[in-house]
Amino acid sequence: MKLVTAVIKPFKMDDVRAALSEIGVQGITSTEVKGFGRQRGHTELYRGAEYVVDFLPKVKLEIAVGDAQVEAVIEAIVKSANTGKIGDGKIFVSPLEQVIRIRTGETGEDAI
């Protein structure tokens, strides 16, 4: 089992969710986060004053999947979140040692 964590642009959330639903992903956890990478933020003009926005709004998705589905999930996220511009985001894949469904007590891939 793997935990796929993706940090994407907020306006791409619906596209990514739809792409993941099409390949059979049943559960996604979404968190609104702020951060920056190589783009290092940007400057904005507000009421005539210029200020630097260091942390940009992003959406962090966490998807627990079985090993067989990892590549399909990554491909779906890359295709649906890509704009071709800086700041599209990143995908991280981590091993999951154990998953337990609290309601039923199921463990492992059955709990996903």
pLDDT tens column, 71-81: 999 999 999 99
Q: How many domains are contained in the chain?
A: 1
Question: What mean pLDDT is predicted for residues 48-57?
Answer: 77
- Output the pLDDT for position 41: 63
Domain that includes residue 75, residue range: 2-111
Model confidence band, residue 55 (pLDDT cutoffs 50, 70, 90): confident
The DSSP call for residue 66 is -
- pLDDT (tens digit, 9 = 90+) per residue, 56-95? 899 999 999 999 999 999 999 999 999 998 889 999 999 9
Residue 74 is part of a domain; what is its CATH number?
Answer: 3.30.70.120
pTM, whole model, 2 decimals?
0.86
Q: Which two tokens stand for residue 81?
A: 């979140």
pLDDT of residue 21: 96
